Chains A and B, each alone.
Chain A
Amino acid sequence: MKKGKLKYLFCCFFIFTLLFCHLVLSCSEDKEDTYSKIIRTKKLLVGTDATYPPFESKDGKTGELVGFDIDLMNAVCKKLEVKVEYIIVPFDGIISGLKNHKYDAVISAFTITPERENQIDFSQAYYNAGQSIAVREDENQINSQKDLIGKRIGVQLGTTGEILAKKIDGAEIISYDNIGAAFIDLDNKKLDAIINDKPTSERIIAFKGKAKLVGQTLTSENYGIAVREGEMRFLEAINHALTTLQTSGEVDSLKRKWFSAKTH
């Protein structure tokens, strides 16, 4: 009997030792800030979830990473005079990877929210979008957010769409690794609606059809480029590059390239 209790005590001790090690190891200071590092190595690692057209996705024919965010980040890196390398990660782990130094910046249709700002820092906004409701083409019961009460709603894991959907009374929220899978399920009648960023839903529907957007845009959200907390010099450099690109009209021409109705 006594031996059994000792075993549990040992387990608890082991768990807290692990937690303590994590605390000590994660507190270790970096030798140089990210800005010095990327200038020295001439390379910037950028995390992105490439399942989100037209912001970032793999081109179906060439397999290359394409999208508005990608073009924008390439332009920013050109201004910073560094080479860019993209690392593709699932969206729900994107903050974790940034904090754990797997990459130094994130561009992934990433909405600036107060909760996320507690964890990471955002650049100035470079795009404004909002959440939309997508339903099957033959659906006519759902016309606005009010009609979603008690329905099955598909979202992408870790997105602002998921946060919004969780506030709807009695709705069953099903979160997917990528939003494309939710559209397949909508088509197979396993979902009643999808809440997701409007430009992406629009693009997926334009490609595959079988769904439509209803009601008004639910939110107004700003996308930003994310970096680790306290990287002031790096953030300033990104903001400066963004401002230059915005005043020179390059951002506008990228918007025309990716968001005009008939681009594909």
Chain B
Amino acid sequence: MLDIINWLFLQIKILFNILKFLGPAIPMTIKITILSFALSLFLGLFVGIARISKRRFFSFLSKIYVDLIRGVPLLVQIFFIYFGLGKILNLDRFLAGVLAVGICYSAYLAEIFRAGIQAIPRGQFEAALSLGMTPYQTLRHIILPQSFRIVIPPVANEFIASLKDSSLVSIIGLRELTRAGREYYSTYFVDFHTWLLVGLIYLVMTLSLSRVVSWTEKKFKVHGYGVM
């Protein structure tokens, strides 16, 4: 019995030591996720709207953008932006990481926004235009507020995915959670506990995010659309 208690305390001590080591790296993961997702929301909205533009040039351009970005693995994009363009742009590794994740996710978000806008019945466009609203006003006051509610669940999905994918930027030496985990276990050779804890920290972050999401969903619920 005493052995088990001793063992339990030892385990807690090991986990606590690892947590102390990983702690400083957690804000970096959060920072990368939030900044890159803000970028991809912004880019994605523009590309998504351009995708359904009447002007063939814009829709063509955004289609190419989506196809190009969506078809290349994020890891390759990170390498390309950081090392490939290293000579030309010479981006700082944090900026390169944020840019790579942000651009990659903007392609997925663009498709989600497009779907969200196209889900609004066409009649509403026509009604707004016939009331004398400009296309911009129609989009801003009639269509987007409704689309916003529809796209909350899929966008939240991408947000959680981008939090997990932020671990990929560790490859360019950015010290975020996954990198810190690798540093710890290559120094102290504790593999099981380290990865258990890294996994748990990601889990805590994603679970708290999904809490926030379901709260937002309830708050902005629209009758007639989406999940009741």
Contact = CB atoms under 8 A, between A and B. Distances in A.
Interface of A: 15-16, 18-19, 22-23, 26, 91-93, 95-96, 100, 115-116, 118-119, 154, 157-158, 163, 174-177, 181, 184-185, 188-190
A176 B87 contact: no
A23 to B, nearest CB: 8
Contacts of B186: 91-93, 95, 157-158
Contact of B200 (A15, A22, A116): A15
B179 to A, nearest CB: 8
Contacts of A118: 189
Given A15-B196, A175-B183, A119 B171 contact: no
Given A154-B173, A174-B93, 12 more contacts: A16-B8, A16-B11, A91-B186, A93-B185, A96-B191, A115-B189, A157-B186, A158-B187, A163-B187, A174-B173, A181-B83, A188-B86
A91 B175 CA distance: 18
Contact of A157 (B87, B90, B182, B196): B182
Contact of B183 (A26, A154, A157, A184): A157
Contacts of A185: 86, 173
13 contacts: A26-B192, A93-B186, A96-B189, A157-B183, A158-B187, A163-B187, A174-B173, A174-B175, A175-B179, A185-B173, A188-B87, A190-B86, A190-B93
Interface string B170-181: 011101000100
Interface centre among A91, A119, A174 (most CB of B within 10 A): A174
Nearest to A100: B191
A188 B87 CA distance: 6
A209 to B, nearest CB: 15
Contacts of A175: 173, 179, 183
A18 B196 contact: yes
B196 A95 contact: no
Interface centre among A19, A184, A189 (most CB of B within 10 A): A19
